[in-house]
Amino acid sequence: MIAKIRYASLLAYKVLMQRKHMVGSISTIDLFCGAGGLTYGFEQAGLPVKVGYDIDPACKFPYENNNKAQFILQDVGCVSKYDLEQHFSDSTVKVLAGCAPCQPFSSYGRRYNDKESRWKILQDFARLVQDCEPEIVSMENVLQLKHHSVFTEFVQTLKILNYSTESYEVNCSDYGVPQARKRLVLLASKFGRIELVPPTHDVRRYETVRKTIEHLDPLIAGQTSKIDRLHQCSKLSDLNLQRIRASRPGGTWRDWSKDLVAKCHTKKSGKTYPGVYGRMEWDQPSPTITTQCFGFGNGRFGHPEQDRAISLREAALLQTFPPSYEFVDSDKPVIFDQIGRLVGNAVPVKLGQIIAQSILNHVKNFT
């Protein structure tokens, strides 16, 4: 009996060591990596990333300065099977992840009307999956993508390649992101069914704007913090200063006196856009952080208390980047449009952690 127990213990130990070895030999390639939100989340969860690809040169500094992975400035459409195999050469479990640029599929991207610009980015993703057949595929995007044929074709490609595929409509607030951001998360595996970890927060425990940014130095419109140059906010015109002073947290421009209302909103077509020129609420998650979140007139991006739009650092914190995350080299200027694009296009770091933890749990269960 003792011999049997010892044998069972030895066997269990060997299985554990095999699983540890398997987890240790996982590596990820991050397509459309941006400033590194997904990669940073993966690394924080313990899932290593080898390399990130993106076509935006502004991504190189934040990606490599804050992460261990290498950044490659290259259009994913030009990436080959050989490129991926080089990075995956010493990996037992290969993970191909990415957040294809969402503008072609979102309500803000209706200017992308030609099929080429809408579909090619996902077709390139599918081509690389076909060429490389990684064990795990992960994709994050806007919810609207699921209504397009290109997504159906992408999923069909995965199924033909014998992937078990699951897609989830994720409210990021359910996972500790202080933001009302809803996203589509696809997970696919060669091993078997892969599940996203259950929500970590309910509505009573949502992270809020107050918890996330209240501690930062107060600013006036157009000012920059003396201790963090990313904590700077855009200037406001005299009219917009009057407007924000007339705004209340959670309210809309409909609360203003008539002389402050923009002419476009007095038209019938403009009355359906109440979510602009608004203040955030302290004790709620923020609205979805976009690439234009530094502008008061671009959404509900007014500070809950101070008469200004949120700063670039506040936007990054609401995207769950750590306070130390650097988006631009110290000898380069802070350009609002550039940093706003990097922050707004990013996968929230905490969502990246959740996706990575789901992958790690899955690999441990099936290997």
Which of 313, 310, 316 is CA-nearest to residue 298?
A: 310
Per-residue pLDDT averaged across 115-130, rounded? 82
Q: Is 359 within the bounds of a domain?
A: yes
Residue 306 has pLDDT above 80, yes or no: yes
Per-residue pLDDT averaged across 165-189, rounded? 97
Q: Is 247 within the bounds of a domain?
A: no
pLDDT range class, residue 224, cuts 50, 70, 90: very high
**pTM of this structure:** 0.88
Residue 169 has pLDDT above 70, yes or no: yes
CATH number reported for the structural domain that contains residue 199 in this entry: 3.40.50.150
The predicted pLDDT at position 102 comes to 63
Q: Is 30 within the bounds of a domain?
A: yes
Q: Is 99 within the bounds of a domain?
A: yes
Print the domain residue range for 124: 25-204+348-366
Query: Among the options 33, 99, 102, 293, which is catalytic?
Result: 102
Residue 206 has pLDDT above 60, yes or no: yes
Which two three-digit tokens encode residue 297? 């007139």
Q: What is the mean pLDDT of the chain?
A: 88
Q: Is 232 within the bounds of a domain?
A: no
Per-residue pLDDT averaged across 79-96, rounded? 95
Catalytic-residue membership of 293 = no
Q: Where does the chain have alpha helices with state H?
A: 2-24, 37-45, 60-66, 81-87, 115-132, 149-160, 209-213, 238-245, 263-266, 312-318, 336-344, 349-366
DSSP 190: S
Q: Is 271 within the bounds of a domain?
A: no
Give percent above pLDDT 70 in the chain.
86
Q: Is 310 within the bounds of a domain?
A: no
Residue 245 has pLDDT above 70, yes or no: yes
The predicted pLDDT at position 263 comes to 75
Q: Is 193 within the bounds of a domain?
A: yes
Residue 233 CA to its chain's centroid (Å): 22
pLDDT range class, residue 99, cuts 50, 70, 90: confident
Q: How many domains does the chain have?
A: 1
pLDDT range class, residue 260, cuts 50, 70, 90: confident
Angle, alpha carbons 28-29-34 (nearest 5°): 120
